[in-house]
Structure formats: C-alpha cells, structure tokens
C-alpha cells in the first residue's frame, strides 16, 4: 500500500511538470555574458529564473537585460560580495518572441548560469 501511494504521488508530481512545459539550459560565464535568444517565428517563451553558480566565493555585479525592438531594458541588477550563488527570479511573465533576447552580464566569470524558461 505504501508503494502505491508513493507511485501515485510521483505520477501527480510528474504530470504537473509536463503541463508546465518548462526547460532549463546551462551556459558558461567564461566571457562574462550569456545571451539566450528566440529564433522561432511561431513560438515564445518566458524566463522564470537565472541561477548562477560560481567556482568559489566571488564578488561582482550581475545584470539581467531584455533586448527587444532595438532597445535594451534592465530586468534586474544585483551587486554581490563573497558568495557562491546568485539567483534572479522574474517578477512578471516577460514574453520573448522572435528576435528578442535575454542577456545576463556578470563581472565574475568563474561560473555557470542555468536559465529556466517556460512556454508562453
């Protein structure tokens, strides 16, 4: 009986994840900038979060930008001191259509960024 309950809970949890249609991808911060663009004409996505993990304690600044219609719009900015992780979560559903890009700029370059997105 206990196994059946655990199996049912796993099915419910998995079903919710599939419905959300989200995905994540990792990018190196070796040059200080990560750009994620939408090149698909018939789809759009929404950034959910950017998780930055450094190789060791780091100090610097991170900026999250939206490039759209020839303009650059700041979605977030954070100065950090002696940390190993920085997390940015979107405060709204910013939809990215074809030709638009999410840019993450960081002065500390010893890390990895995981960008989490969902379909719009």
In a domain, 6, yes or no: no
In a domain, 101, yes or no: yes
pLDDT band at 30 (very low <50, low <70, confident <90, very high): very high
In a domain, 98, yes or no: yes
pLDDT tens, position by position, 7-23? 434 444 444 444 557 89
In a domain, 71, yes or no: yes
In a domain, 39, yes or no: yes
Q: What is the pLDDT of residue 6?
A: 42
In a domain, 55, yes or no: yes
- Specify the higher pLDDT residue, 3 or 61: 61
Q: What is the pLDDT of residue 17?
A: 46
Residue pair 99/37 in contact (Cβ under 8 Å)? The answer is yes
Range of the domain at 55: 21-119
pLDDT tens, position by position, 62-89? 999 999 999 999 999 999 999 999 999 9
In a domain, 82, yes or no: yes
How far is residue 101 from each of residues 10, 76, 97, measured CA to CA in Å? 35, 14, 8
CATH number at residue 81: 2.60.120.260
Q: What is the pLDDT of residue 21?
A: 78
Q: What is the total count of domains within the chain?
A: 1
**Percent of the chain surpassing pLDDT 90:** 77
């Amino acid at each position: 009986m206990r196994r059946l309950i655990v199996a049912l809970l796993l099915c419910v949890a998995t079903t919710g994840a599939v419905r959300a249609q989200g995905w994540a991808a990792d990018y190196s911060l070796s040059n200080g900038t990560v750009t994620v663009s939408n090149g698909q004409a018939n789809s759009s996505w929404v950034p959910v979060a950017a998780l930055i993990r450094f190789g060791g304690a780091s100090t610097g600044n991170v900026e999250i930008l939206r490039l759209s219609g020839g303009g650059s719009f700041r979605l977030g900015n954070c100065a950090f001191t002696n940390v190993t992780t920085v997390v940015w979560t979107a405060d709204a559903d910013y939809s990215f259509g074809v030709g638009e890009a999410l840019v993450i700029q960081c002065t500390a370059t010893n890390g990895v960024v995981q960008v989490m997105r969902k379909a719009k």
